Amino acid sequence: MSGGGESLGGGGKSRRGGNSKRKVKKRLGFRLDMTPLVDITFLLLTFFMLTTSMLTPQTLQLNVPREPEEIDVKCSELMTIRIRPDGAIFYNVCTDEPTRVDLKGLRKVVTEQNIALKNKLIVSLKASPEGVYGTVAQVLDILRASEPDIIAGLNKIGIDKRDRKFTVAPWTEEDTKETSGL
């Protein structure tokens, strides 16, 4: 008993390797079954795949004839829209001087000319090969978007049928000369 409290609460042997009355904690075996979690993951994955809306690529459809056809066109019925390499847009009817127009004003010009010529206007689009394709696509979108306005205007003057006349023509040196100083 001379050790200063060796017999007070422990009983049994000392710390150095004997029997102790203290209980050793047993570790419980823990096992997680992942099978239901994998099933739920695949169910959620298929649910989200089927319910999300997939974006369809937006393409521009142009019907180009296989061989060019020669068509006689009155000069007064031909509107030429030119797109320079810097993205500037010009229009002219017949042999008029090209006039610069922005994208917003182009819709109004095309609509008014179509109604004034009673659906006989032919639009010719010329774009520089060095130009930005995005501007060409915007001009084509504006031409397509102006159709309801044109149809409404033609209906007011008694024309029920709309014939859309449109062509894409190659850019020439003459186009460069006409639009370079403007």
**pLDDT tens-place string over residues 88-106:** 999 999 888 899 999 889 9
Is residue 27 assigned to a domain? no
Work out the burial of residue 146: count CB atoms within 10 Å of its CB; fewer than 13 is exposed, 13-18 middle, 19 or more buried.
buried
Average pLDDT, the chain: 81
Is residue 12 assigned to a domain? no
Tell me what pLDDT residue 26 has: 77
CA 162 to chain centre: 29
Single-letter amino acid code for the residue at 98: P
Helices (H), the chain: 35-51, 103-116, 133-145, 147-156, 173-180
The domain of 142 spans: 75-180
Is residue 133 assigned to a domain? yes
Which phi and psi (to 5°) does residue 51 adopt? -95, -20
DSSP assigned state of 83: E
Number of structural domains in the chain: 1
Tell me what pLDDT residue 18 has: 59
Which range has the worst mean pLDDT, 20-24, 45-49, 144-148?
A: 20-24
pLDDT band of residue 158 (cuts 50, 70, 90) is confident
Is residue 5 assigned to a domain? no
Residue 177 pLDDT > 90? no
Is residue 83 assigned to a domain? yes
Is residue 56 assigned to a domain? no
State if pTM tops 0.75: no
Is residue 29 assigned to a domain? no
Is residue 59 assigned to a domain? no
